[in-house]
Structure 1
């Protein structure tokens, strides 16, 4: 039986040589060479039942061009041989078909190949590189591996154990499996973080619009509270910065508006236990006694403080003779009078009978002040008819009071045939710089109260 190399390569060139000998032709012994079914020469050993060439015996062929005998394995590279290492070992660099060993020839080359299954299928146990299939070689071994991307990275869809894993493509603008959001950017101050989860208070990233700060915690005693900058009045006590914070603007409770604790001397009256607090509390006039428990001397306490008060009527009501600063004041009638300023009311105005004739009516007992061209005070000497623009002019009997007299009663006479044909009672007060008169309605018509400079 003729020896055939892997893949029929040896048979092919032997057949080519044999094919050069026409059927029926004899060799140089005069005999016709025996051939097998493939056309290969059959040696004597084969026809006599000897051993195959795989036993180490050279394979003999005939070079029809020269008649020389060719032997693969004789150690000589004969024509048609790519190599001849003098042996028939298929695990070295030269196969027993005298062709060079290559990956994929079906023979494992010692020291160069881990395996050789003679095919180009990368999904079995031996790759086209003649290496044992393994996870990480870049080839998916059927029935063993789900994937094989040839690297040692676990976050690219295929793990280092060659198992398919979900790939998150955060930043591609599409919400993939495992993502809560994806805005197509890597900004950490918008609504979607670079990790493709929505922005939230406490995530450690300050939102450009909705947050003033984000310190990655939910503590309410530091400088960032609910992602807003802490401040006095927010209702949370900022450790080491505030003594208190009650969230209001009331300075009369336990916590002041500057977030300091209320105390005697802070200038604010604590509702529950202080009568006063002027910030000094030394018991001075108008101030507060030490300890904030009682008031110091002040206007309205009914006690006149020498060199400070000119009066103290026990109240702070003005227009009662003692004002709200405890200073003597003009009485109400000196401040709330009705002015009488007509030029023809002056006693020196007399245009005779039948001309200007004015009469006072319905004076209603109000307080009046003579002022301007009417004069400054009521005359105290008798007048004559038609003075001050009327028929019977009125003049006051007696003298004007001094300031300390207060309100006094006086008689007013109206002159006609005599110095006092009619009379009535009025009241007068000296206001210091002027007089005021409480005038009753005259007893008859065409009577008038007169003034004089």
Structure 2
């Protein structure tokens, strides 16, 4: 029972995202390119590499932000801090979300400011208004928790077990189940990051002597996700007594960080969550909401 917990936690279920940081970036086709060179799959012609790199060029997988990021508040923008990056707290007064739709420092102050859908001034994303000043959808990627016998419980190997709360609008496809992934440190110092909990559509199976009883859903027969979601098919190969774990998860498709609870605090890890709208090597070029801290898993 110990080894499956260790192996499953490497799923996270966080998937590696290509981030525009020091070192090679990633192109649209997931291959690496170094320096400010253009290679097949980028195609934006702006001289900088990578999909999801925050520049406003066409064809590189970034949202069409127009003039967002030029430092000037143009028509249709709430703010413009001169980049297409959503900063992490503490926020400076002028910090702006990646698509120039919201001032970071004013969200969650209790006042509905331009660009905010709501602002109740509290740190609870499970109520009607998330900490990112968007309406709580109670669907995939909404904050969630799990109760048993009226008490909140720690994450389990099977994240579909227990009384899952705040995932009311998650509609699993045939062969999947509703799951609530949460931040946790599994046995063996394997770390999972899911700030505030993360509602998911999931199927999972395990093969090996050390597998826990029962799969989640029917992994082999899951072939598609509901509209607005991206199917992520991940296999962690076993061997040497380690079981093989296969999972399919429907992650939320997104256009900008604004769709991804960017302002969610991670109480378990005592810091900010890092949900961002990025492509991952398994997302087929689509942008999905994913916690970037899972990149090292």
TM-score by length of structure 2 reads 0.20
Q: Which of these two proteins has the greater Rg computed from alpha carbons?
A: 1
